[in-house]
Amino acid sequence: MIDEYRIMGITYWALMIIYFFPIFYLYHFSRLVKMAIIESNSEFLASALKNLKNHFQYVGILTIISLALYIFIFFWFFAWKNFFVVK
């Protein structure tokens, strides 16, 4: 029973670390856009857009990895299913 809780805890910590960076980039984007609007500064806006670009790159890479993992699991499942079929 304790091992199940430990695995759940490790999973939650891993997901928290993985999803920290997109949220971090979005936070900096919103903060810098607000400063750019208030001060009418294009340097802040350029920096904000860089953070937005980093956010979408990170999310895109996570999406590609997730899709590849789903495809791998799908084919692995059917390969093992056909392997154990008694003929």
Q: Is the pLDDT of residue 83 over 90?
A: no
Q: What percentage of the chain reaches a pLDDT higher than 90?
A: 77
39, 10 Cβ separation under 8 angstroms: no
So what's the pLDDT on residue 75?
Answer: 86
Residue 31 burial (C-beta neighbours within 10 Å; 0-12, 13-18, 19+): middle
> Which residues, 6+ apart, have CB-to-CB distance to 41 below 8 Å?
35
pLDDT category of residue 79 using cuts at 50, 70 and 90: confident
CA distance 18 to 74: 23
pLDDT tens sequence across 35-69: 999 999 999 999 999 999 999 999 999 999 999 99
pLDDT bracket for residue 86 (50, 70, 90): low
List the chain domain ranges: 2-83
Q: Which residues contact 42 (CB under 8 A, 6 or more apart)?
A: 36
